[in-house]
Structure 1
Amino acid sequence: MAKKTDNGSFIDMFKSFGEELKMPSVDVDKIIEHHRKNLETLEKTAKAATAGASSLMDKQRRILEETLREVSDMAQDFRASGGPQELMSKQADFARRSFETAVKNASEMADVVRKSSTETIEILRDRIKEAMEEIREGMERKK
């Protein structure tokens, strides 16, 4: 059993118990530092994800504004139009432009999401590499 220490500290009692069992010592400062780095990484990934979401929302807002402007312009064009053939031609042109714009916008939005995801993954991957190096260094010191 563990010997009772002079000051009766709970931590000292466990330390003494660990020494008697010849358990490896634990560097609490390193554990705290490790978790601090993990929390910092979590904060960085949250900021990157938030920036990506903000960028995506800005892009969606611009797309909506552009679409509303085009619809308004088209409505004015239809009032001033001539015959049925001209009206059909304008409708076909609007449909073509709308499709091209939708494809372009979807591609741009996918790029924003991809960039944000890549940045977040890079932050996490760098921290994992760093944590693995810390573990490797700790193992080498014990040998």
Structure 2
Amino acid sequence: MSDEKTNSNLLGLDVGKLLGSFRLPSVDVGQLIETNRRNMDALIAAQRSVTDGYTSLARRQVEIFQNTMDMAQAAIKAKREAKKSGEDSGAEGPSSTEIAKMALNMAVQNMKDLAEAASKANGEALSLINERMKATLTELKGMREKKE
């Protein structure tokens, strides 16, 4: 591209002249810019909401993983100590089947919690965007009614 081209020169066409040839309804440019600024603010807020939600979700996943590993280590340690002391493994602590059932129940509950957190993060962002879309339509309709 040449340095001689200006912002209004696109593919060899003078955009200013091209747009000038169309009859556009008069628009309050300031109000249109303000509407678009609000739209961008809403998108930023929605993105922040999603980011915060998924950050919290990732933290929760780390907590779940750490708790699961701690429980597994404790169960293994208890089994080893019971074996070393010569105690009957069935008499001391939960059986392997009970540990597996507890782990499965915990995993199901954790999955529900994570799904709820993800749904909440997405719902908040979607709500922000929907509210802004409604406001934008109202503002654009107001601009149109002012000009008529």
So what's the TM-score if we normalise by structure 2? 0.76
2:42 alignment partner in structure 1? 41
Which whole-Å CA distance do the structure 2 matches of 1:114 and 1:41 have between them?
Answer: 19
Which digits, 9 at most, give the CA deviation of each residue in 1:45-77, with x for residues without a partner?
A: 111011111110110011011011101111111
Secondary structure, counterpart of 1:80 in structure 2: helix
Query: How many residues are treated as equivalent by the alignment?
Result: 127
- Would the alpha carbon gap of residues 44 and 73 (structure 1) be closer, same or farther in structure 2, given more than 3 Å must change? same
Segments of structure 1 that go 5 or more residues without pairing to the other structure are 1-12
Secondary structure, counterpart of 1:26 in structure 2: coil
- Would the alpha carbon gap of residues 22 and 115 (structure 1) be closer, same or farther in structure 2, given more than 3 Å must change? closer
Which whole-Å CA distance do the structure 2 matches of 1:51 and 1:102 have between them?
Answer: 24
Percentage of matched positions with identical amino acids = 24
Which digits, 9 at most, give the CA deviation of each residue in 1:10-54, with x for residues without a partner?
A: xxx97xx67xx8642232212211211111011101110111111
2:144 alignment partner in structure 1? 139
1:75 alignment partner in structure 2? 76
Amino acid at match of 1:78: K
Amino acid at match of 1:34: T
**2:123 pairs with 1:118:** yes
Which whole-Å CA distance do the structure 1 matches of 2:112 and 2:23 have between them?
Answer: 61
Amino acid at match of 1:29: G
Which of 92, 96, 101 is matched with 2:106 structurally? 101
Secondary structure, counterpart of 2:95 in structure 1: helix
So what's the TM-score if we normalise by structure 1? 0.78
